[in-house]
Copies of this chain bind each other. A is one copy, B any other.
Amino acid sequence: MTQKTVTAGVILIGDELLSGRTQDTNLSTIAKWLEPLGVQVGEARIVADDADVISETVRSFSDRFDYVFTTGGIGPTHDDITADCIANAFGLGISEREDAIEMLRERYELSELNTARRRMARIPDGASLIKNPVSQAPGFQTNNVFTMAGVPSIMRGMLPDIEHRIKGGAKVYSRTVTAEGIGEGDAAAGLAEIEKAHAGVSIGSYPFFNADLRGVNFVARGRDEAVLDAVERELRALVASIVV
């Protein structure tokens, strides 16, 4: 029985990512966390703090992928507009929720719960909350869209309360063969032949340049580990035939 491929789209929200001021690391964290669950990231977008773009991206990704993950824009300040954009994307209302306020109360005294902090309890109608053990303000799930914090440590803290909601599909395994001192061009023809000979396996070629050293990582990905083992052997033979 062939398992279906389950895919995810990732939306990274925030002007600071586009200015180059902040280096995103959340995509890599999410992708590596999804892999053993049997979910492949199909595309990621880094979008500005622009309500129309966020809503439109959420809508199209929700249609196109099995799961969607957003990071960023759910804090207490005026530039935190993600919750409203999610509500808008699905035509839902949005209001302050008592269960979200209770979570915030684990962190804040009632006197500290000013209007700004209460914004973090505004949740699209019908969404289910995602626990935040790091800073308490919850994320939330709306249909197939999981909305998380942008700060990496807080985002990571939310993943355990998402894991049980994911129904993954076929797992993709990989084998990596590293070849030092050769160029991609030396291996290209053999590489294409090996890929062609093994249906369901894709082979990527990733050159690296460490100061003086050059080399290539060949990464074979596929669902069948026995086939991948055969591919790995053929890749090693190919590399051995080039390095003289």
CB distance from A175 to the nearest CB of B (A): 12
Interface string of A206-239 (1 = CB under 8 A from B): 1111000000000101000000000000000000
A101: B residues at CB distance < 8 A: none
Interface string of A68-84 (1 = CB under 8 A from B): 00000001111100000
A221: B residues at CB distance < 8 A: 15, 19
A219: B residues at CB distance < 8 A: 16, 21
Interface string of A10-23 (1 = CB under 8 A from B): 00001111111111
Q: Which of A43-51, A90-98, A122-130, A162-170 contacts B (4 or more CB under 8 A)?
A: A43-51
Copies in the complex: 2
* Chain A: number of interface residues, binned into ranges: 35 or more
In the docked arrangement, what's the CA distance between A232 and B46, Å? Answer: 28
Residues A188 and B18 in contact in the complex (CB < 8 Å), given A78-B195, A151-B209: no
Verify if A158 is at the interface (C-beta below 8 Å from B): no
Residues A35 and B20 in contact in the complex (CB < 8 Å), given A43-B46, A205-B75, A205-B79: yes
Q: Is the CB of B114 within 8 A of A185?
A: yes
Chain A positions within 8 Å of B, measured between CB atoms, are 14-25, 27-32, 35, 40-49, 53, 75-79, 108, 112, 114-117, 119-120, 134-135, 151, 153-154, 174, 183-189, 191-192, 195, 202-209, 219, 221
11 contacts between A and B (CB under 8 A): A15-B204, A16-B204, A18-B31, A19-B35, A19-B40, A24-B24, A45-B45, A75-B207, A77-B184, A78-B195, A114-B188
Q: A20-B31, A108-B185, A115-B189 are in contact. List 13 more A-B contacts (CB 8 A).
A: A15-B202, A20-B28, A20-B35, A23-B28, A27-B46, A43-B45, A43-B53, A46-B46, A75-B207, A76-B188, A77-B184, A79-B203, A153-B209
